A and B are shown apart, each in its own frame.
Chain A
Amino acid sequence: MKRRLILSKRTEHSKENSQKNLWITLVVLVVLGFLISLSLGRYDISLRQLWVFILAKIFPLEHNSPPILDIVVFHVRFPRILAAMLVGTALAASGAAYQGMFQNPLVSPNILGASAGAGFGAALGIYFSMDYLLIQIYSFVFGLIAVLISWGVSTKIRRDPKLVLVLSGILVGTLFTSGIAFIKYVADPTDKLPAITYWLMGSLASVDMADVRSVLIPILAGTIFLYLVRWRLNVLSLGEDEAKSLGVDTKKIRFMVIICATLMTSAAVSISGVVSWVGLVVPHLARMALGPNFCALLPASILIGSTYLLLVDDLARMLAPVETPLGILTSLIGAPFFIFLLTRSRRGFH
């Protein structure tokens, strides 16, 4: 009996240890991704050079780094890296929140139509030459409208709720995508059309510090709120009746979660365009690594999401002599992964 107790204590202990190692790995990966992304690019900077340069920035040291380093690192790469991490955070965290809230591992900002809605709002903003803030507001409002329609339609149909939500999301997405196509059709082909088209493919190529500053607050605020209600998200993922009988005011919390997740998605869309599949792929990876409890799932999704988008953005910069749109790469990676999920998780579809 005593031996068993010791044994079970030991396995518990080793389990805790392996979890701790996993967290350390995730954090190390983000930091590595950050440093590698700073050094990678057309202007070659070795990690050693970067190290000397950063140290010299912090401490008043003698160094002979070329002055161009300052421009490349701080004005070109740094904003873009921050943007990639923020967009990765926003899409992954909102994806995880949508999945939990709708009790549906198959949804994501894209599948719910949030991205298309936000894209439509932003395209409208570009078409009317609005400023940043207004474009963001438009993209948020239309993103929210899209999610609410998808959800509303799915609750009207009383069978196979998981599949119906996915389908209604795809339909709403299509609706807003055709709206975008219409804006493109009427847009000025010399300046507005290329701007909308290129931006819609998903790219961080033209991001500057002002962009980063404009989305920092909505994305951080959304993340913090979702983190605060992480336990409630677990409860919501059990379904309406169970969540209520466990003592949760589901209506209020659902509403707040939808607002936050959509705010984050639309903020991301407003600087990067439509970057697909991140919000679907990353929460699944995080769940495989650390389980479905949101207390771990949310931070893990954020860490994996920012690393993932950093690395994919590095690919976008480096793959070809001309920049590859980020959205194309995430789709290339994400779509096959989705197929893998569909074939793998037969058990989960009832």
Chain B
Amino acid sequence: MKVEIRDAICGYDGKPVVTGASLSIREGEVLCLLGPNGSGKTTLFKSILGLLRLQGGTIVLDGDSIEDWPRRKIAHYFAYVPQIHSPSFPFNVMDMVLLGRTAHLGNFSTPTAKDKEIASDALDMLGIHHLKEKIYTEISGGERQLVLIARALAQQPHFLVMDEPTANLDFGNQMLVLSHVQYLAGLDIGVVMSSHFPDHAFSYASTVLLIKDGVIFGFGSPKEIITEKNLKSLYGVDVKIVEVDVGDKEQVLLCVPVSSNTSGRGEINRRANLAQN
């Protein structure tokens, strides 16, 4: 199964934020969006999920245009993992995951024993079954992110859209969440996620998309897209891409910011000097 976005114009109230966006993703792939704050990542996500109406272009799933699909049908294919949040009401974890079953329930029905089983399995898959009876608003940020992923899994979608799944998490939890992302791709789920760390894309993404000021300027495999030149124009930071041995003839690529006079650490030094004078 393949989703294609063709020449999409996305935005709010007639004001386009993202223009001319074309990309595609298949089941089992991980697509990582990189771009500075305010570049249009969330807007693009909302359009893919059908939360924002496209102002131009089209989204096609295996040849069918999905723009006029009812909500329930979209939810059978796409699940959304929002950034960690505090909902207004203190639901327990099991209820939170069961909410993922909504698209499979009738308008007037409540989850059945089978839905509970599916939710319970989703908790198992993410290794958080022990949180089942806990209150969602009282567990840690990392745990909440896993619960939201479990909820999306319970929805049994073909694609997951994750808005900065590693935001506000400590280093250990970032790696935990990313390893789950990889695991989900192994289950043949297509994952679209955004991140602020090019390193995450190197290690976990099959495809990378670079977006700045609402325009896509790179789409392809991490190795060919995440270059020193591209990152410089994306973030205005000088980086060096280095290869590191991690044993067993395995190498990973890493981005290391380097000092210069115009940006990054150089800029901070310059400002510090100015302040001292």
Contact = CB atoms under 8 A, between A and B. Distances in A.
Contact of A231 (B78, B111, B137, B161): B111
A234 B82 CA distance: 17
Given A241-B80, A242-B80, A292 B90 contact: yes
Nearest to A231: B110
Given A230-B110, A247-B76, A291-B91, A238 B51 contact: no
Contacts, number: 90
A103 B51 contact: no
B107 A232 contact: yes
Nearest to B74: A247
Contacts of A244: 49-51, 71
A119 interface: no
Contacts of A237: 87-89
Interface string A224-241: 000011111011011101
Given A15-B133, A228-B108, A234-B99, A249 B90 contact: no
Contacts of B76: 247
B91 A292 contact: yes
B4 to A, nearest CB: 20
A324 interface: no
Interface residues of B, number: 36
Contacts of B99: 234-235, 238, 246
A53 B5 CA distance: 75
Contact of A293 (B50, B91, B103, B108): B91
Interface residues of A, number: 34
Interface string A10-22: 0010010000000
Contacts of B14: none
A239 B85 CA distance: 11
Given A229-B107, A231-B110, A248 B102 contact: yes
Interface of A: 12, 15, 100, 103-105, 162, 228-232, 234-235, 237-239, 241-242, 244-250, 287, 291-293, 295, 347-348, 350
Given A244-B50, A247-B72, 11 more contacts: A15-B133, A230-B110, A231-B111, A232-B102, A235-B102, A245-B78, A246-B102, A247-B71, A247-B102, A249-B70, A249-B72
